[in-house]
Amino acid sequence: MNWTWFHQLGSPKSFYALTSQWLPWLVTVMVISMTAALVWALLYIPPDYQQGYTTRILVIHVAVAGTSLAFFPLMAVAGTITLVWRIKLADMVARNAATLGAWFSFVTLATGSLWGSVMWGTWWEWTDARLVSMLFQFFLLLAVIALRSAMDDNDKAAKACALLSIVGCINVVIIKYSVEWWNVLHQPNSPVGMSNSGANGPEFWLPTLLMVVAVYLFLTVSLILSTRNEILHRERKAQWVRELLAAS
């Protein structure tokens, strides 16, 4: 098998050139979908027959929470590339993903708490496996960030973080299935699309799906932008970066 394309994409210079072409498109689609999803969710979504207008939190909470589960798998793939192929770009992506993932987990916990305080009658329950496993993900992401900044040697830090990211994927499975494996206060995963009973119709899942798309695009754009910054910083002595900076 020919692996040249793989190593080419992994070169910071070609990644920078490629993303320069992608970014305008990605940002445009992101802004449009995010605006549409927010307006839909905050102004036009119908109330739930029992929970009223907390459906507005639902759209944001579900989209952010679902997306937050993507960070450990993403970091694990990047980490595996770092460990096996020693491609530096993969580590730059993993590093920025950890920070972003911590924010996503935090927003998940915050919106969930707000919702819980209104509906369940409690902000937080230490005995709920879904809540605690999500908090664990937040702390694990902080641990990845701390581990990196605690080590002076860049390569060693990258390897250690890669291993921790791979291990962290186990927790993602636990978060996902916590509501099925154990008795918890948190609701089970709502089915995607309308159920036979007529619940979860398009008036709820369509804005949620749109928000999921918008949030994933936000993740992609943020990750690309922060990785480009890091490329410029790490490669600041390279010829192509100097030329780029001189030109701008």
Burial class (CB in 10 A: 0-12, 13-18, 19+), 195: exposed
Residue 40: DSSP 8-state? I
Is 46 among the residues that bind other proteins (CB under 8 A)?
yes
CA-closest candidate to residue 102, choices 80, 71, 56: 71
Does 83 interact with other proteins (rule: CB under 8 A)? yes
Residue of 169, 210, 211, 224 interacting with other proteins (CB under 8 A): 169
Token duo for residue 235: 């490669």
User: Which residues have C-beta within 8 Å of that of residue 145, sequence separation ≥ 6?
Assistant: 98, 99, 102
Q: Which residues pair with 48 in a beta bridge?
A: 52
What x-and-dash track marks residues 186-225 binding other proteins by CB under 8 A?
A: -xxxxx---x-xxxxx-xx---------------------
Between 116 and 218, CB nearer to other proteins:
116
Q: How far is the CB of 10 from other proteins (least distance, A)?
A: 14
Do 138 and 102 contact (CB within 8 A), yes or no? yes
Residue whose pair of structure tokens reads 């992101």 in the numeric block: 30
Least distance between other proteins and beta carbon 96 (Å): 22
User: Using an 8 Å Cβ cutoff, are 55 and 48 in contact?
Assistant: yes
- Verify binding: residue 42, other proteins, rule CB under 8 A: no
Q: The tokens 């590093």 sit on which residue?
A: 95
| Dist. CA 48–CA 23, nearest whole Å | 38
CB of 108 to other proteins, least distance (A): 17
Q: Does 14 bind other proteins (CB under 8 A)?
A: no
Q: Which of 11, 13, 55, 56 binds other proteins (CB under 8 A)?
A: 55
Among 9, 32, 39, 84, binds other proteins (CB under 8 A): 84
Regarding 50 and contact with other proteins (CB under 8 A), the answer is yes
| Integer Cα distance of 120 and 134 in angstroms | 18
Nearer to other proteins by C-beta: 6 or 22?
6
Q: Which is nearer to other proteins, 171 or 222 (CB)?
A: 171
For 179, the token pair is 């509501």
| SS3 category, 224 | helix
* Cα–Cα distance for residue pair 9/211, rounded to 1 Å: 29
C-alpha 209, offset from chain centre: 15
Residue placing its CB nearer to other proteins in the complex, 53 or 240: 53
- Residue 14 CB, shortest distance to other proteins, in Å, is 21
Q: Does 80 bind other proteins (CB under 8 A)?
A: yes
Site residues (CB under 8 A) for other proteins? Answer: 1, 3, 46-51, 55, 58, 80, 83-85, 118-122, 125, 127-129, 163, 166-167, 169-170, 174, 181-185, 187-191, 195, 197-201, 203-204
